[in-house]
Amino acid sequence: MRTLHGEVQTPVFMPVGTQGAVKALGPDDLQRLDYEIILGNTFHLYLRPGHELIRDFGGLHQFISWDRPMLTDSGGFQVFSLAPLRKISEDGVKFQSPLDGSSHTFSPEYAVQVQEALGADIIMAFDECTPYPAERDYVKKSMELTTRWAARCREVKSDNGQALFGIVQGGMEKDLRDMSTKQIIDIGFDGYAVGGLSVGESKTLMWEMAEHTLPLLPEKSPHYLMGVGTPEDILKGIKIGVDMFDCVMPTRNARNGNCFTSRGRVVIKNARHKREDIPLDPDCDCYTCRNFSRAYLRHLYSAKEILASRLLTIHNLAYYQRLIHGARKAIEAGGFLEYYAALSEGEGLK
Amino acid sequence: MRTLHGEVQTPVFMPVGTQGAVKALGPDDLQRLDYEIILGNTFHLYLRPGHELIRDFGGLHQFISWDRPMLTDSGGFQVFSLAPLRKISEDGVKFQSPLDGSSHTFSPEYAVQVQEALGADIIMAFDECTPYPAERDYVKKSMELTTRWAARCREVKSDNGQALFGIVQGGMEKDLRDMSTKQIIDIGFDGYAVGGLSVGESKTLMWEMAEHTLPLLPEKSPHYLMGVGTPEDILKGIKIGVDMFDCVMPTRNARNGNCFTSRGRVVIKNARHKREDIPLDPDCDCYTCRNFSRAYLRHLYSAKEILASRLLTIHNLAYYQRLIHGARKAIEAGGFLEYYAALSEGEGLK
């Protein structure tokens, strides 16, 4: 995948930098972890410090000192999750800032404008992330609104080198997913995302919808499964053709002391780790695992030391990176299914 | 200064790693900042995770992954600050853990034993840090108790290569400082610390006592002014012959958004920094100043991002390091007083 700030190998996982920082890490840490692309949240950055300020600093890359590719979401997901402090109309969404109660409106045109000010390599169309559960009638209307908004985003998007991705909605209704996909493809985007999944439905239903939708996307464009997921989800997604993932799970879990390892989850605060003189993950070569014992990490976590968040986040992101890099290598060697099967037999995906 | 883990150039500032971590930083950050020695707090580490656990991990160096020199305090200062939850006797101090209310006793012998388990390169005699203000009679008794405790520490100290430093007390009474210094020197230590200052007295009084006491210490032994201080204090201390300093000020201030710069203090949360596209300190070459604007740092601080603590701590410690390195160079060149005078004329010490 080629972007303004260089190439990105796929499949790829994008750490979430909600407010202009991947929580607990600096760009130095992310570069050492070999992450090629990160995600910024338009909604949060719009509210604070403001997209105009960031534009005046030369864009988000410059502002946060990240010179590799970046993607911003449209702000839609966060705006909709403000319910009942938001109101949807054909024009857009009016909402109150959770920071100071002030009134704001996001329209498709404005979401593009804000994202152009932020200047990420990839920006997203403004959509309604359909809630779950929802009546079929609502899902259909919401999907159609997303289509009209997508067309408006495409229409106003400047020819500035930023890629614009469209988002497929349609809830848990296969025929609506079909319609949405067709409409979004007809408008024409640089990449396609599947939205509205992982919003409360069962994993079975989520994968039923993802498996149904992914094959409908244009083969040559990047496929992005938004907000997903667990390590198991990542491999399932790759299997059905997903190229891009993002999720707060590795970073948020780390801050809560919940760590992914090749031998299964480690809840670092548990008493069993108090005297454990082995790395968090003996099969990991990240900074944390090369230098510290589980006992020390548990101590830092128990003592509420800030360093615990950084070290555990470094590890969880190293774990995701290894998972994805392994998948890439396996795909190149034609052995992805074997890779997936081998990992499924162990404890590493649990 | 030679230690088990290598040489330390003096004068030197020791960042405080209270609970086995210099708050918000990893050993990687400290090494990039070129810090040669850090301080650990015996009291905190004794309570959590426990000195025996740390000993079983090969000592504090191994436990926290720091292979350079380290100093531990004796725990005395923290134990005394627990008042009224502690009781002093000739034998030692009985106190209740602020973590769980459990009962503990620190004696001079036990303080040495705990510090031997931690295994720092330099350990400190167990003293009573005389409170201020205090009656002369109390100060004298307290000073004499510190002397008897110092002798007991010296007596039980193993011949294991760890350096043991004695601590001079005597409150704000010059003749008692004289007596204390003589008694502590008579016992004989590898280095000498001036304790009981910066405990609430005026700066004038503090420097009067320090200036009185420093010349009484053996010229060839390291001189350590405990718990000091501001940038101005550091230079004043160097001027009167102090070799070693420690203070939570650069790290604690950083976490509160209070930054030292060559152009004076910067309180990063202030609105004036909101759009400031210059480094925190334009004359600083630390990671933070090389990569980020004041506006971004203010944003991180306002958004309560963990990264703010790390970046501001890196900068404040870089500031202290530059101050001290400048002093060393000036001393070597025979121009310390000029260095001090030049800095005093600017904003950098404010």
Contact status, residue A134 vs residue A142, Cβ threshold 8 Å: yes
Query: Is position A350 within any domain?
Result: no
Q: Is there a single domain that holds both residue A99 and residue A215?
A: yes
Q: Which B residues, 255 through 274, put their C-beta within 8 Å of a C-beta on chain A?
A: 274
The whole domain housing B221 covers 2-247
Q: Is there a single domain that holds both residue B214 and residue B275?
A: no
- Smallest CA–CA separation between B294 and chain A, in Å? 10
Q: Which residue stretches of chain B are H helix?
A: 27-32, 42-47, 51-56, 60-64, 76-80, 108-118, 136-156, 174-187, 203-213, 231-239, 249-255, 287-291, 294-302, 306-332, 336-345
Query: Would you state the structure tokens that stand for residue A149, as one six-digit string?
Result: 């908004």
Q: Which of A186, A216, A247 finishes a domain?
A: A247
Q: Is there a single domain that holds both residue A242 and residue A273?
A: no
Out of B26, B49, B299, the one facing A307 most closely (by C-beta) is B26
Cβ distance B19 to A303 less than 8 Å, yes or no, reads yes
Q: Is there a single domain that holds both residue B165 and residue B30?
A: yes
Q: Would you call B64 an interface residue with chain A, using a CB distance cutoff of 8 Å?
A: yes
Run of H or E including B346: none
Q: For chain B, state the CA radius of gyration.
A: 20
Q: Is there a single domain that holds both residue B216 and residue B270?
A: no
Q: Is there a single domain that holds both residue A89 and residue A232?
A: yes
Query: Is position B350 within any domain?
Result: no
Q: Is there a single domain that holds both residue A125 and residue A260?
A: no
The pLDDT profile of chain B, 350 residues, written as one tens digit per residue, is 999 999 999 999 999 999 999 999 999 999 999 999 999 999 999 999 999 999 999 999 999 999 999 999 999 999 989 988 999 999 999 999 999 999 999 999 999 999 999 999 999 999 999 999 999 999 999 999 999 999 999 999 999 999 999 999 999 999 999 999 999 999 999 999 999 999 999 999 999 999 999 999 999 999 999 999 999 999 999 999 999 999 999 999 999 999 999 999 999 999 999 999 999 999 999 999 999 999 999 999 999 999 999 999 999 999 999 999 999 999 999 999 999 999 999 888 88
DSSP annotation string for A23-80: TT--HHHHHHTT---EEE-HHHHHHTT-HHHHHHTTSHHHHHT--S-EEE--SHHHHH
Cβ distance A49 to B299 less than 8 Å, yes or no, reads yes
Query: Would you state the structure tokens that stand for residue A271, as one six-digit string?
Result: 């008493």
Q: Which of A230, A247, A264 finishes a domain?
A: A247
Of the candidates B319, B311, B314, B317, which has an alpha carbon nearest to the alpha carbon of residue B347? B319
Of the candidates B100, B230, B76, which has an alpha carbon nearest to the alpha carbon of residue B166? B76
Of the candidates B120, B129, B140, which has an alpha carbon nearest to the alpha carbon of residue B79? B129
Q: Report the distance separating Cα A143 and Cα A159, nearest Å.
A: 26
Q: Please report how the helices A336-345 and A306-332 are oriented relative to each other, as an axis angle in degrees rounded to 10.
A: 140
Query: Is position A9 within any domain?
Result: yes
Active-site pick, A127, A243, A246, A281: A246
Q: Sheet harboring B70-72: ordered strands across?
A: B12-14, B244-246, B223-225, B191-194, B163-168, B122-124, B70-72, B38-40, B16-17
Query: Is position B11 within any domain?
Result: yes
Q: Report the distance separating Cα B226 and Cα B276, nearest Å.
A: 37
Residue B271's closest chain A neighbor by CA?
A49
Count CA atoms closer than 13 A to A34's CA, side-chain side.
Answer: 14
Residues of B in contact with A275 (CB under 8 A): 53, 56
**Residue B34: CB atoms within 10 Å:** 10
Residues of B with catalytic annotation? Answer: 73, 246
Cβ distance B305 to A275 less than 8 Å, yes or no, reads no
Cβ distance A300 to B26 less than 8 Å, yes or no, reads no
User: What is the number of domains present in chain A?
Assistant: 2
Contact status, residue A13 vs residue A321, Cβ threshold 8 Å: yes
Q: Is there a single domain that holds both residue B86 and residue B228?
A: yes
Active-site pick, A73, A127, A243, A281: A73
Query: Is position A75 within any domain?
Result: yes
Q: Is there a single domain that holds both residue B97 and residue B144?
A: yes
Run of H or E including A277: none
The ipTM of this complex is 0.97
Q: Is there a single domain that holds both residue B203 and residue B296?
A: no
Type of residue found at B152: R
Q: Residue A243 gets which letter from DSSP?
A: -
Cβ distance A310 to B306 less than 8 Å, yes or no, reads yes
List the CATH number of the domain containing A190: 3.20.20.105
Q: Is there a single domain that holds both residue A194 and residue A279?
A: no
Q: Is there a single domain that holds both residue B223 and residue B324?
A: no
Cβ distance A57 to B23 less than 8 Å, yes or no, reads no
Q: Which of B222, B247, B272 finishes a domain?
A: B247
Of the candidates A26, A238, A36, A244, which has an alpha carbon nearest to the alpha carbon of residue A124? A244
Residue B25's closest chain A neighbor by CA?
A307
Query: Is position B52 within any domain?
Result: yes
